[in-house]
Amino acid sequence: MFTVTLKDNSQLKFEKPLSIYDIALKISEGLARNACCALVNNEWKDLRFVIDKDCSLTILTFNDELGRGAYRHTTSHIMAQAVKRLFPDVKLAIGPKTDDGFYYDFDGQFSLEDLPAIENEMKKIIKQALPIEYFELERNKALELMKDEPYKIELIQNLPKDSTISFYKQGEFTDLCAGPHLMNTKLVKAFKLTSVAGAYWHGDEKNKMLTRIYGTSFTKTSDLNEYLERIEEAKKRDHRKLGRELELFTILEEAPGMPFFLPNGQILKNILIDYWRKIHRAAGYEEISTPIILNRQLWERSGHWQHYRNNMYTTIIDDQDFAIKPMNCPGSILVYKTQMHSYKDLPLRLGELGIVHRHEKSGTLHGLMRVRCFTQDDAHVFMTLDQIKSEIINVISLIESVYKLFGFKYHLELSTRPEDSMGNDEQWEKATNALKSALVEKNIDFKINEGDGAFYGPKIDFHLEDSLGRTWQCGTIQLDFQLPEKFNLEYIGKDNEKHQPIMIHRVAFGSIERFIGILIEHYAGHFPTWLAPAQAKILPISEKFNDYAQNVFNKLNENGIRVQIDLRNEKIGYKIREAKLKKIPYLIVIGEKEMNSNQICVRTKNTKNITLGIDELSNKILKEVEEKKEIDF
């Protein structure tokens, strides 16, 4: 007899071994019908897995992240089977789940026109209700089975030599896979193939370019349709498209992955920077600036040369190796070392809007979201051991205030020690417990992200949710015992002895460039008035009102309003349509009535037409800028 402890701590006793599916069936038919996979002693397992001893068991459905993963991974195998039926010569690479769907990489040429035929074949496979079977082979037999699939052969050869290799089979289709998967193809209810893209094998541009087919799947057609509607809305909000239309930024072939900000975009960037400076001054930070290029010895000492070398750009100056900084922290440490500090100086909070460069593979570059050159809104806090919790809480509060201003929901994840890390167990335990303690004291729910910390310390990551429900990782707080030790940082304590400070690394925006990309899509280009590059545009009905329009422009400009004027000899309807496409908050139409009354007619975002005085509009816009929120007339 053995005991199974369920998620709610209730216990079931069984006399003979049972599969997870059979256990789910004994709990309820509904649970068995909806089950996708399970956690057994916190290990991700198939419903076929047989339990024969005491364990904890959590049965997962599509409502759980890992349950969705098994469901969508199964859909990717159904897609691969359909492709092999239609295109037998195509070679299989890999087909994992993603956050919102799945993909499969193929060595073969496909286009969007091929997707309907693949979808139709997938429907046939689902209708066939093929049982999905798991089996294992020893290495040589696995290689023989996959002899016609070169990418699978390579994957097998890279596994440890004594490995038992796992496979899943559905009908005539067999794939190398660790699973887990659903029990039967008929369990996939609603799916859609969404796009086709190129992808290098192993993500390495030195390897062959494969074709990646993306898709998604759901248990209900209504949920699938809702998702597809969100995707269509996301296309309209694509920051690359809006960046061109609103003349915010461009990426040129002369500098791949390195954005050029146009005048409108630079205004937006400067507004964010001004806001950043204001809140950091109020929070007791001092701003510094450090060089972009620093010598190899510094990066070796910090550990970046050993742990991050492949992402760094290097150069030689006076026969010495130098690197363009991928991070600002070593420069901030050198600033700390310029003088001896007392405990009375701590916490010392140093902020830097530093330009950093990181080598990203060309295939991963994506507008402002994934770039090679960006401005990191870094800050580093040097403190004593007993100041850790209060400083972490202060940093969390500051970052929360930023995200609330822009209307973002967010959740937090605590990332723990990775395999490739510096330092000893005691330091990591102290650092991790300090972060946990601060989160608990702030009464914040958080998720543990095992093994995803920085190489020098654990971290708290902020994951934003935008207006379309998409998540973005932006803010981060990293607690570091390692670099202060490596750089021999010191302060004089109350006992007049030298002590080592502790260091926090943190960002709020993360990358200002990426944050701008997120804001463009979050607001669909309709920036609130305080952020809008142009807050108002003046549109005279005809040339005879140009002089009055120019006077209005001058007055608004003097009042500090970001205003534009359109003096072209075009029809007013055309001017209004064009200005609306630029998503300018206030359009000012000037005609005879306005000129004679010394007033202006203002068209607002919600197409209200209001007649008022110039100073009245100025005061309203300035109030919106000051309060950073929209105010109705």
Question: Residue 98: which CATH number?
Answer: 3.30.980.10
Sheet containing 446-449: order of strands: 286-287, 348-357, 373-383, 502-511, 471-480, 459-465, 409-415, 446-449
C-alpha dihedral over 21, 27, 28, 34, to 10 degrees? -40
- Residues of the domain holding 11: 2-61
Judge if 49 and 140 occupy the same domain. no
Q: What is the pLDDT of residues 543-588, one digit of tens each?
A: 999 999 999 999 999 999 999 999 999 999 999 999 999 999 999 9
Last residue of a domain, one of 494, 523, 552: 523
Q: Which of 329, 370, 461, 506 is catalytic?
A: 329
Catalytic residue among 84, 372, 505, 620: 505
- Packed helices 425-441 and 388-405: angle between N→C axes, nearest 10 degrees: 50
Are 368 and 515 members of one domain?
yes
> Cα separation of 122 and 79, whole Å?
6
Specify the CATH number for the domain of residue 31. 3.10.20.30
The answer to whether position 320 is within a domain reads no
Instruction: Determine the Cα–Cα distance for residues 429 and 416; give it in Å rounded to an integer.
Output: 9
CATH of the domain at 447: 3.30.930.10
Judge if 552 and 503 occupy the same domain: no
Q: Known catalytic residue: 378?
A: yes
Answer whether residue 311 is part of any domain.
no
The domain tally of the chain equals: 4
166 neighbors 136 (Cβ within 8 angstroms):
yes
- 53 and 71, same domain (yes or no): no
Residues 149-195: pLDDT tens digits?
999 999 999 998 888 899 999 999 999 999 999 999 999 999 999 99
Q: Are residues 110 and 183 in the same domain?
A: yes
Please report, rounded to a whole number, the percentage of residues in the chain having pLDDT higher than 90.
81
**Residue 316 domain-assigned (yes or no):** no
Q: How confident is the model at residue 262 (pLDDT cuts 50, 70, 90)?
A: very high
- Looking up residue 615, the CATH number of its domain turns out to be 3.40.50.800
List, for residues 392-408, the tens digit of each pLDDT value. 999 999 999 999 999 99
Say which of 81, 376, 427, 535 is annotated catalytic. 376
177 is catalytic: no
Q: Are residues 175 and 264 in the same domain?
A: no
What per-residue confidence (pLDDT) applies to 422?
A: 79
Asked if residue 356 and residue 271 are part of one domain, the reply reads: yes
Rounded CA separation 531/627 (Å): 12
Overall average pLDDT of the 8-19 stretch? 93
> Is residue 493 domain-shared with residue 606, that is, in the same domain?
no
Q: Are the CB atoms for 458 and 428 separated by under 8 Å?
A: yes
Sign of CA dihedral 449, 450, 454, 458: positive
CA distance 527 to 302: 40
Residue 466 has pLDDT above 90, yes or no: no
Write out the DSSP string of 420-432: S--S-HHHHHHHH
Determine whether 380 is an active site residue. Answer: yes
- Whether residues 553 and 512 share a domain: the answer is no
**Domain identity same for 76 and 6:** no
Q: Which of 68, 97, 380, 537 is catalytic?
A: 380
Q: Tell me if 200 is assigned to some domain.
A: yes
| pLDDT averaged over every residue in the chain | 93
Question: Percent of the chain beyond pLDDT 70?
Answer: 100
- Of 126 and 437, more confident: 126
Q: Which of 280, 358, 522, 537 is catalytic?
A: 358
Are 452 and 551 part of one and the same domain?
Answer: no
Final residue before a domain boundary, out of 455, 489, 523: 523
- The answer to whether residues 288 and 402 touch, using CB atoms and an 8 Å cutoff, is no
In a domain, 556, yes or no: yes
Known active-site residue 505? yes
Q: Note whether residue 443 is domain-resident.
A: yes
pLDDT of 307 above 90: no
- Look up 478 and say whether it is catalytic: no
Q: Do residues 70 and 55 share a domain? A: no
- Asked whether residue 466 is assigned to any structural domain, the reply reads yes
Position 136 confidence tier, pLDDT thresholds 50, 70, 90: very high
- In the predicted structure, residue 104 carries a pLDDT above the cut 90: yes
325, 459, 575, 583: which one is catalytic? 459
| pLDDT confidence bin for 632, thresholds 50/70/90 | confident
Coil/strand/helix, residue 350: strand
Q: Tell me, yes or no, whether 242 lies in a domain.
A: no
Catalytic residue, chosen from 378, 461, 480, 566, is 378
Phi, psi (degrees; rounded to nearest 5) at 625: -70, -45
Confidence of residue 452 (pLDDT cuts 50, 70, 90): confident
